[in-house]
């Protein structure tokens, strides 16, 4: 099991709001608490494009299916669970060529494209998995495109919730410091809310087309660290 580690850092953005609210004449101290923790990623999210071309819609679909079979074989090899792979989109579109003589767009063929999302639960397998999706086939009528790749944390939501508690504690501690400095007393929380949305791990664009020969080694990927952040804003009533 991959060991996850991290260091919590607190960043306190503070300010005093002494504006009297018209409806209840409340004086407030407003603070923001942020908690951040870094982890080694334990999953890899990959977005793929399975595509095929053909002179007819059926031929394009058949060519795309041959590329999909390559994906299925790789999924079996790396023992990827059914719940970790899903189709995100499917398109079948005609390809047009402009005819200057007739001033019309004529259908020149069809393109089939299926978007697929894959979650790898063994980070070290990422390079070999991408390599397995490549082909040395001489045809240019079908293939697999690696669209984006990102390292992430499987239990991100749990970690965000844990950090939310730390962010609230940070905000409370800072409000206490400000209150003592301003020679006022805190009476309690007037308003408390999370700030913004925690963004998922960044996704990186991969090569537009993976088409290496069998003699070339699998790509080496650097996972780095994944950061999870929680931020809250709090208004404290003072007297």
Condensed to tens digits (0 to 9), the pLDDT of residues 116-139 reads 999 999 999 998 998 888 755 556
Are residues 87 and 66 part of one domain? yes
The answer to whether residue 92 scores a pLDDT higher than 60 is yes
Where does the pLDDT of residue 7 fall: very low under 50, low under 70, confident under 90, or very high at 90 and above?
very low
Distance CA(213)–CA(204), nearest Å, equals 23
The answer to whether residue 12 scores a pLDDT higher than 70 is no
Q: Are residues 102 and 23 in the same domain?
A: no
Residues 27/126, Cβ–Cβ less than 8 Å: no
Q: Over pLDDT 70: what percentage of the chain? A: 77
Final residue belonging to a domain, choices 113, 131, 152: 152
pLDDT given for residue 217 in this prediction: 59
Average pLDDT of the residues in 93-111: 90
Averaged over 223-228, what is the pLDDT? 84
At residue 99 the predicted structure's pLDDT band, cuts being 50, 70 and 90, is confident
Q: Which residues contact 45 (CB under 8 A, 6 or more apart)?
A: 117, 118, 119, 120, 149, 150, 151, 152, 201, 203
What does residue 24 show for φ and ψ, rounded to 5 degrees?
-140, 5
Pick the residue with more confidence: 116 or 106? 116
Of residues 98 and 25, which shows the higher confidence score?
98
Residue 198 has pLDDT above 90, yes or no: no
Are residues 65 and 100 located together in one domain of the fold? yes
Per the model's pLDDT, the better-predicted residue between 19 and 110 turns out to be 110
Q: Judge whether 87 and 116 are in contact, CB under 8 Å.
A: yes
How many domains are contained in the chain? 2
Q: What pLDDT digit, counting tens, does each position of 206-220 carry?
A: 543 344 444 455 666
- What's the pLDDT score for residue 121? 94
CB 66 within 8 A of CB 147: no
In the numeric block, the tokens 């390292």 are attached to: 151
> Is residue 200 over pLDDT 80?
no
Tell me the CA distances in angstroms from 143 to 80, 150, 158, 194, one per residue in order.
20, 21, 37, 44
First to last CA, the chain: 52
Range of the domain at 165: 9-40+155-200+229-238
Reported as a pLDDT band with limits 50, 70 and 90, residue 4 is very low
Per-residue model confidence as pLDDT tens digits over 158-168: 998 899 999 99
Do residue 162 and residue 66 come from a single domain? no
pTM (2 d.p.)? 0.71
Percent of residues, the chain, with pLDDT higher than 90: 60
The first and second tokens of residue 142, run together, are 């079908």
Shared domain for 60 and 100, answered yes or no, is yes
Amino acid 209: pLDDT: 37
- 52 and 95 in a single domain? The answer is yes
Q: Which residues contact 188 (CB under 8 A, 6 or more apart)?
A: 236, 237
Residues 85 and 119 in one domain: yes
Q: How many other C-beta atoms are found inside a 10 Å radius of the C-beta of residue 72?
A: 11
pLDDT tens digits along 67-89: 999 899 999 999 999 999 999 99
């Amino acid at each position: 099991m991959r060991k996850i580690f991290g260091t919590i850092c607190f960043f306190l953005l503070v300010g005093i709001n002494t504006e009297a609210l018209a409806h209840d004449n409340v004086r407030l101290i407003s603070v923001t608490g942020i908690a951040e923790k870094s982890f080694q990623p334990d999953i890899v999210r990959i977005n793929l494009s399975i595509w095929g071309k053909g002179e007819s819609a059926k031929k394009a679909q058949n060519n795309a299916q041959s590329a999909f079979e390559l994906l299925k074989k790789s999924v079996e090899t790396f023992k990827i669970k059914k719940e970790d792979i899903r189709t995100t989109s499917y398109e079948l579109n005609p390809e047009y060529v402009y005819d200057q003589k007739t001033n019309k767009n004529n259908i020149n063929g069809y393109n089939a494209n299926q978007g697929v999302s894959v979650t790898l639960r063994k980070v070290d397998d990422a390079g070999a998995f991408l390599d397995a999706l490549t082909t040395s086939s001489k045809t240019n009528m079908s293939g697999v495109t690696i669209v984006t790749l990102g390292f992430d944390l499987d239990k991100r939501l749990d970690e965000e919730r844990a950090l939310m508690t730390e962010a609230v504690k940070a905000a409370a501690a800072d409000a206490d410091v400000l209150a003592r400095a301003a020679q006022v007393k805190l009476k309690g929380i007037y308003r408390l809310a999370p700030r913004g949305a925690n963004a998922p791990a960044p996704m990186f664009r991969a090569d537009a087309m993976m088409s290496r020969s069998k003699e070339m080694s699998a790509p080496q990927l650097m996972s780095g660290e994944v950061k999870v952040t929680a931020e809250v804003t709090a208004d404290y009533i003072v007297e």
